């Protein structure tokens, strides 16, 4: 299959602007396509400077984890328009995401019966997701469709938040009003609390201003970084040099609105697997 790589040229708007104003200042225009083996779209996120974390006073803020830092990303990168799906996982790994795994999740009863090919690949550990990226990189290099200095990888925490915010400074990429969350995300209010306690098909909700779907809710997403209590700022941060837990971001179908904010940070051991945890791929020059 072939993948359309959608290139987004992003201009920042002032804090507090409406979604309509954001859309006017963020142009998303296709600039061509690149052959890919699993049929996923990537949105190109431009390099630039942004403020990572949440401001004092943001509802549900966890101060010690979300204190703001200034970040500069010097290189653009591609990010999956949606979370990696079960079908895409099977195309690369040649098995179900959870087949033969020692699963920690106590909710697995829902996964096999309700996760279609277009639903996120869940019950994958950080190690599993990293292996997927490595295999996809090898496939694309062998086919000659990936530059020698490029690779597929999990996004850094800074890359993930820059893409999620899409130039915004509010709690969510659409503003601060939690009442709008159902339009953009699967969370406890429209999933778990109404008996739909599982991940939903990707891309059903409204995208953020960069045309990325499900950055809030549906499933949390692994990032490449080791977890550190404080955010890593500066130029092209990649997180602590070592650790015991990896970061995941974005919120999930079981979480309340505060756990779906742009700045929310959680963590788990790199070998752990849960039915509310998946990932999306990034593509760029090596981030290490």
Mean pLDDT of all residues in 195-207: 91
The rounded distance, in Å, linking the Cα atoms of 5 and 152 is 14
The predicted structure's pLDDT at residue 21: 38
Residue 20 has pLDDT above 90, yes or no: no
pLDDT category at 11 given cuts 50, 70, 90 is very low
Higher-confidence residue: 34 or 28?
Answer: 34
178-183 long-range CB contacts below 8 Å, 24 or more apart? 178/59, 178/257, 181/216, 181/217, 181/257, 181/260
Give φ, ψ of 60 to 5 degrees.
70, 15
Q: Of 227, 204, 224, nearest to 214 (Cα)? A: 204
Mean pLDDT of all residues in 141-157: 91
Q: Report how far Cα 47 is from the mean position of its chain's Cα atoms.
A: 17
pLDDT in tens, 222-258: 999 999 999 999 999 999 999 999 999 999 999 999 9
Residue 181 has pLDDT above 80, yes or no: yes
Q: Which tokens is 247 given?
A: 């970061």
The rounded distance, in Å, linking the Cα atoms of 212 and 170 is 17
pLDDT in tens, 110-136: 555 567 899 999 989 999 999 999 999
What kind and span of H or E run contains 25?
helix 19-25
What does DSSP say about strands 220-226 and 277-278: parallel, antiparallel, or unpaired? parallel
Q: Which residues pair with 72 in a beta bridge?
A: 49, 235
Q: Which of the given ranges, 15-24, 161-170, 188-197, has the highest pLDDT on average?
A: 161-170
The predicted structure's pLDDT at residue 6: 37
Mean pLDDT of all residues in 174-188: 97
Mean pLDDT of all residues in 43-65: 95
The predicted structure's pLDDT at residue 198: 85
Q: Which tokens is 138 given?
A: 């090898």
> What percent of the chain has a predicted confidence (pLDDT) above 90?
68
Higher-confidence residue: 286 or 92?
Answer: 92
What does DSSP say about strands 69-73 and 234-235: parallel, antiparallel, or unpaired? parallel
The predicted structure's pLDDT at residue 161: 98
Q: Of 142, 28, 124, nearest to 83 (Cα)? A: 124
Q: What is the mean pLDDT of the chain?
A: 85
Instruction: Please tell us whether the domain made up of 5-285 is placed in CATH 3.40.50.150.
Output: no
Half-sphere exposure of 85 (CA within 13 A, CB side): 19
Q: What is the DSSP string of 111-133?
A: HHHH--TTSB--S--HHHHHHHH
The rounded distance, in Å, linking the Cα atoms of 280 and 138 is 17
The predicted structure's pLDDT at residue 285: 76
The rounded distance, in Å, linking the Cα atoms of 79 and 40 is 10
Q: Which tokens is 168 given?
A: 């915004």
| Ranges 8-22, 40-54, 60-74, 267-281: which has the least confidence | 8-22
Residue 39 has pLDDT above 90, yes or no: no
Residue 91 has pLDDT above 70, yes or no: yes
Close Cβ partners of 168 (under 8 Å, ≥ 6 residues apart): 13, 15, 22, 174, 175, 209, 262
Residue 167 has pLDDT above 80, yes or no: yes
> What percent of the chain has a predicted confidence (pLDDT) above 70?
81
Q: What is the DSSP string of 83-110?
A: PPBHHHHHHHHSS-TTTT-----TTGGG
Q: Which tokens is 141 given?
A: 């290099």
Q: Which tokens is 240 given?
A: 């602590």
The predicted structure's pLDDT at residue 100: 67
């Amino acid at each position: 299959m072939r993948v359309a790589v959608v290139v987004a040229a992003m201009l920042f708007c002032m804090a507090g602007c409406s979604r309509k104003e954001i859309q006017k200042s963020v142009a998303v225009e296709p600039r061509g396509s690149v052959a890919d083996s699993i049929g996923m779209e990537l949105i190109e996120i431009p390099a630039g400077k942004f403020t990572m974390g949440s401001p004092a006073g943001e509802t549900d803020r966890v101060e010690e984890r979300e204190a703001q830092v200034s970040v500069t990303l010097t290189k653009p990168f591609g990010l999956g328009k949606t979370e990696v799906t079960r079908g895409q996982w099977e195309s690369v790994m040649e098995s179900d995401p959870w087949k033969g795994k020692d699963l920690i999740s106590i909710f697995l009863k829902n996964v096999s019966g309700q996760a279609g090919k277009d639903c996120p690949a869940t019950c994958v550990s950080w190690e599993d997701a990293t292996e997927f990226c490595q295999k996809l990189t090898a496939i694309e290099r062998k086919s000659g469709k990936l530059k020698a200095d490029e690779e597929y990888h999990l996004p850094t925490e800074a890359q993930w938040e820059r893409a999620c915010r899409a130039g915004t400074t509010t709690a969510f990429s659409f503003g601060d009003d939690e009442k709008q969350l159902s339009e953009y995300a699967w969370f406890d209010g429209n999933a778990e609390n109404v008996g739909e306690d599982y991940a939903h098909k990707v891309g059903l909700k409204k995208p953020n201003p960069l045309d990325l779907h499900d950055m809030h809710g549906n499933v949390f997403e692994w990032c490449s970084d080791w977890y550190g209590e404080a955010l890593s700022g500066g130029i092209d941060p990649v997180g602590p040099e070592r650790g015991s837990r990896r970061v995941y971001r974005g919120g999930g179908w079981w979480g309340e609105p505060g756990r779906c904010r742009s700045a929310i940070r959680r963590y788990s051991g790199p070998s752990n697997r849960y039915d509310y945890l998946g990932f999306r791929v990034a593509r760029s020059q090596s981030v290490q």
